[in-house]
Amino acid sequence: MNLILLGAPGAGKGTQAEILCKKLGIPSISTGNILRAAIKDGTPTGLKAKSYMDAGQLVPDEVIIGIVDERLKQDDCAKGCILDGVPRTIAQAEAIEKAGIRIDAVIAIEISEEEILRRMSGRRVCEACGASYNLEAVPPKVEGICDSCGGKLIQRKDDTPETVRERLKVYHKETAPLVDFYAARGLLKRVEVADNKEATNAKILEALGLGK
């Protein structure tokens, strides 16, 4: 099963991708995490991506398409995968179609702008594994430490209010049109965020026909 998670920054795509990955037994592919790892490792891709990411802009389509292409070729994707944060433009969605990747469902996570701004200020991510936390909603068991790998939790550079506003602008212009793109293909399932990550996940599973 190949799934796409769509949603504004802060909608909780990464958190939901992690839960779905465990429940469905397929890997989640986060272009954001892959790019952050590339920056940390100082690879050519990382060097190219950094200035865009820090400014809240999208990394050029050809870079993203290359990353996804390469990642989907790996063995663990044979039974499917969860695409988290990609595609983010119509051009990326078309490239995925052209590559012959069959998408089974697209979950659009819906959230108000007010809630996004509130969440982003409390967001922390694991420097080592990319897991995300929220000081209010999803705090780690030990302050500043990742529950799953023991890594250090940091605030992302692009989570400052100014950059968040820029990312929201980019989202409305470039990514929101994907909702219609996938609705036209009969693949879209809208899910409004619930009170906590478990409740939101239950709604997603239900939308996929996998609920209890």
Q: How far is the CB of 37 from ligand ADP (least distance, A)?
A: 11
Question: Residue 135 class from Cβ within 10 Å (0-12 exposed, 13-18 middle, 19+ buried)?
Answer: middle
- Decide if 190 is catalytic: no
Nearer to Zn ion, 122 or 140 (CB): 140
- How many residues comprise the chain? 212
Q: In the complex with ligand ADP, which residue's Cβ is closer, 180 or 206?
A: 180
Question: How near is the Cβ of 27 to ligand ADP at its closest, in Å?
Answer: 16
Cα 191 from chain centroid? 15
Instruction: State how far Cα 188 lies from the chain centre.
Output: 16
Q: Which residue is nearest to ligand ADP (CB)?
A: 32
Known catalytic residue at 13: yes
Supply φ then ψ for residue 38, to 5 degrees.
-65, -35
**Which member of 88, 119, 124, 203 is catalytic?**
88
Q: How far is the CB of 131 from ligand ADP (least distance, A)?
A: 12
The bridge status of strand 28-30 relative to strand 132-134 is unpaired
Interacting partner of 9 out of Zn ion, ligand ADP, none (Cβ under 5 to 8 A depending on kind): ligand ADP
Q: Which is nearer to ligand ADP, 2 or 31 (CB)?
A: 31
CA distance 184 to 112: 24
Tell me the catalytic residues.
13, 88, 123, 156, 167
